[in-house]
Structure 1
Amino acid sequence: MGKNTGLGKGLRALFPDEAVVTSQEDEVLEVDLEKLVFYVKTNNVRPNPKQPRKTFDRNKLEELGASIKEHGIVQPLVVKPETKGYTIIAGERRWRAANMIGLKEVPVIVKDLPPEEVLEIAIIENVQRENLNSIEEAMAFEALMENFNLTQGEIGIRIGKSRTAIANTLRLLKLPKTIQEQLAQGQITSGHARAILILEDPEKMEAFANEIIEKGMSVREAENRIKKMQTEGLAKPLQKKKEDNSGYIIEIQDALEKKFETKVHLSSRGKKGKIEFVYSSLEELDRLLEQLGYEKTN
C-alpha cells in the first residue's frame, strides 16, 4: 500500500512528516485537527518570540520536569506549523521542562493560525492561568491594546477581570525599569508598587523601593510611610476627587460588559443618561436581544 493519501498541500502541511493518515481503502480519514494529538521532536519546536511570559522559575521548571518524568505531558502543547518546525502558541513551560529532562518528543495539537491570533491566544492563555508576574501581565495587556486596538473594558471581558483591575495593572508600567525588575523578581509586591507610584519622582521611587526591600516592609507599613512623607511635605499629597458618580458608572459598565459579553457605553448628565450596547454582527445582536428578553414577532 502506498503512502499517497490524497492529502492536498495545504492540509498535509498541518501534519508532521511522520504522520500518515489513511483508512484501509487508502483514503483520507476525516479528522478534527484541533483534537488530533501528534508527537514531534522536541528540538523541532521553538518558543514564540512574542510570548508575554519572560521569566521562568528554574525550581518550578524542575518540579514540572519531575512530574513529566513520572506522568508524562498530560496536556499537549498547542503549536503553529512553520516552514521548519513549529512555534509554540501555548505550553512553553511544558516544552522547557521537557528539554530540561532530555525528553526527545512532545505531544502537540497543531493550529494554523495568523500571527495576530497566535499572539492573542498566547497572552490570554497565560493571563487566565495566572502564570505571569504583575509586570508581564501589564505588558500583556499593553500588547493587546496596541496590537488589537482593545480597550481596557474589552480586555476585562476576555479574561474575566474588571476594568479597574486592568487599569491598576497597566499603571505599573509607569514605574522605573529597576523597580519593574524588582517587582518581576518578587522582591516587592504589586501592593508595594502601587504605594511607590504615589511618589511620582523616579529617584524618590527607586530610593523608597530599596528601603522597602532593605527593611522588609509590609504593604501596610509602606503605605503608612508614604502618608508620613506626605505630611512632612516629602511626597505630593493625594488630590481630593470630585464628588461625582463616575466610579459608580464605571462599576455598572464593567458589570454589564461582563454579563452581556460585549462592549457597553454608559454616559450620564445629572440624573439623566443612556446605555449603549455594541455588537459586531447580526448574530451577536440576536444574542443580545435574547438576553434582554426581547421576543421576535413574525
Structure 2
Amino acid sequence: MADKSDSAPKPKTRGLGRGLSALMADVTPATPEAPKRPDTHLPIERIRPNPDQPRRHFDEAELKELADSVTRRGVIQPIIVRPDPTHPGDYQIVAGERRWRASQLARLHEMPVLIRDYSETDVLEIAIIENIQRANLNPVDEAAGYRALMDRFGHTQEQLATALGKSRPYIANLLRLLALPDDVQGYLTDGSLSAGHGRCLVGHPEASALAKRILQGGLSVRATEKLVKQGLSPKPRQPRPSAEKDADTRALEAELAAQLKMGVSITHKPGGEGGTLALHYRDLDQLDDLLRALGG
C-alpha cells in the first residue's frame, strides 16, 4: 500500500467555472461497456469525504450490495476527487462517496480516481447534479434540485434539459410541483401520490382537501382529473317534480280545461307556493280563441 509520504499525483486542471455540460461529462455514470479511464489510483486512506456533502444517510443494505459487486467486478467508474483544501497531500471526494464507502467494506486498498481542480461552487453544483441522478429520487426532491441549479447557478430550463438528457416540458412540469402546498408535496415525497396526481392539483385552491380525497379513494390520475374539474362541492341537482299529482291539483286542471276548452297542466314548485300553469292548444284557431278571451 502506498504511503502518505509518497509524492502525490499531479492534479489535472480543467479550469474553473467550466459550465454545466462540462461538469456533466465528469458526473455522468459510466457503463461496463464503456468505463471511464481514471487519471490514477489513490490509496483509500488518502481519500476523505466532503464535509459539506448534502447526502448524510447511506443505506447499509445498499452499501453491502454495492460492496459485493465491487468485490466481484472492481470499481467500474472512477470517483471524482480534488486536492483537499484542509489536509495537504490528501484528496476530497467530489462525487462517488457511496463507491468509496463500499470499497472500504470490500477491503480495497486503492481506488481509481479522476482528479479535478474544482472550486467550492463547482463542488456544490456537482453535489446537486449527482443527487438528481439518483434512480429512486422522489419528484419533489428532483424538482428542488432543478430549482437549485437555476437559482444558484443561473441555468435555464433549456440548458438543464440538454445537459441532463431530459425534455424541457419534463423539467417544467416537475418545477410546477414546487407550487403545491407543503402537505401535498409531502404526499409526493413519500410516494403516496405520483407526479401525475400532483400536476392535476397545481394551482387549485382546494389542492390539500382534494389530495386527501384522492388518497381516501385510491384514485387514478384519470379519475383525479375528473375530480379536480368537478371540485369538492359540485352543485346539487334540483329534484325533479314528482309525476304523481295530488287530487286537488288534478281537479283544478279539469275545471280550467272545461272552462277554456284546452289542455291544462299545473306544476307546483317543491317546497314553495308558486308553480307553472301550462295551456296546450290544439291548433292556431284554438290559440286565437284563447287570446280573444283574455283580451275581454
Alignment TM class, shorter chain as reference: 0.5 to 0.7
Normalising by structure 1, what TM-score? 0.56
Mean Cα displacement is larger for which, 156-165 or 35-44? 35-44
**What's 1:38 paired with?**
42
**What's 2:178 paired with?**
173
Match runs of 1:35-114 below 5 Å: 35-41=39-45, 44-46=48-50, 48-49=52-53, 51=54, 59-82=61-84, 83-84=86-87, 86-98=91-103, 101=105, 103=107, 107=111, 108-114=113-119
- Give the deviation of 1:55 after TM superposition: 7.0
1:48–1:88: 8 Å Cα contact kept in structure 2? no
- Give the deviation of 1:206 after TM superposition: 2.9
- Give the deviation of 1:151 after TM superposition: 1.8
Distance, in Å, in 1 between the alignment partners of 2:61 and 2:129 is 24
Equivalent position to 1:156, from 152, 156, 161: 161
2:81–2:115: 8 Å Cα contact kept in structure 1? yes
Change in Cα spacing, 1:103 to 1:163, as seen in structure 2 (3 Å) is same
Which amino acid is the alignment partner of residue 39 of structure 1? P
Q: Of the two structures, which has the highest relative contact order with CA contacts closer than 8 Å and spacing of 6 or more? A: 2
Equivalent position to 2:142, from 128, 137, 140: 137
Percent of counterpart pairs with the same letter?
Answer: 37
Which amino acid is the alignment partner of residue 169 of structure 1? L
Equivalent position to 1:188, from 189, 193, 197: 193
2:219 is equivalent to residue 217 of structure 1: yes
Distance, in Å, in 1 between the alignment partners of 2:230 and 2:58 is 37
Distance, in Å, in 2 between the alignment partners of 1:132 and 1:163 is 19
- Give the deviation of 1:114 after TM superposition: 0.9
**What's 1:17 paired with?**
4
1:41–1:104: 8 Å Cα contact kept in structure 2? no
Bigger radius of gyration among the two: 2
Change in Cα spacing, 1:46 to 1:69, as seen in structure 2 (3 Å) is farther
Give per-residue Cα distances to partners, 1:166-205, cap 9 Å, x unaligned: 2111111112233323322222211111112242x3xx33
Distance, in Å, in 1 between the alignment partners of 2:178 and 2:82 is 30
In structure 1, runs of 5+ residues without a counterpart are: 1-14, 22-28, 234-298
- Give the deviation of 1:97 after TM superposition: 4.2
1:47–1:87: 8 Å Cα contact kept in structure 2? no
Distance, in Å, in 1 between the alignment partners of 2:192 and 2:60 is 17
Change in Cα spacing, 1:59 to 1:159, as seen in structure 2 (3 Å) is same
2:178–2:185: 8 Å Cα contact kept in structure 1? yes
Normalising by structure 2, what TM-score? 0.56
Distance, in Å, in 2 between the alignment partners of 1:67 and 1:214 is 42
Distance, in Å, in 1 between the alignment partners of 2:92 and 2:180 is 32
In structure 2, runs of 5+ residues without a counterpart are: 14-37, 236-296
Change in Cα spacing, 1:135 to 1:47, as seen in structure 2 (3 Å) is farther
Change in Cα spacing, 1:223 to 1:96, as seen in structure 2 (3 Å) is farther
1:210 partner SS = helix
Which amino acid is the alignment partner of residue 140 of structure 1? G
Change in Cα spacing, 1:208 to 1:88, as seen in structure 2 (3 Å) is farther
Equivalent position to 1:115, from 90, 114, 120: 120
Distance, in Å, in 2 between the alignment partners of 1:54 and 1:228 is 43
Equivalent position to 1:229, from 224, 228, 231: 231
- Give the deviation of 1:59 after TM superposition: 5.0
**What's 1:4 paired with?**
none
1:46–1:86: 8 Å Cα contact kept in structure 2? no
- Give the deviation of 1:77 after TM superposition: 1.6
Distance, in Å, in 2 between the alignment partners of 1:181 and 1:115 is 31
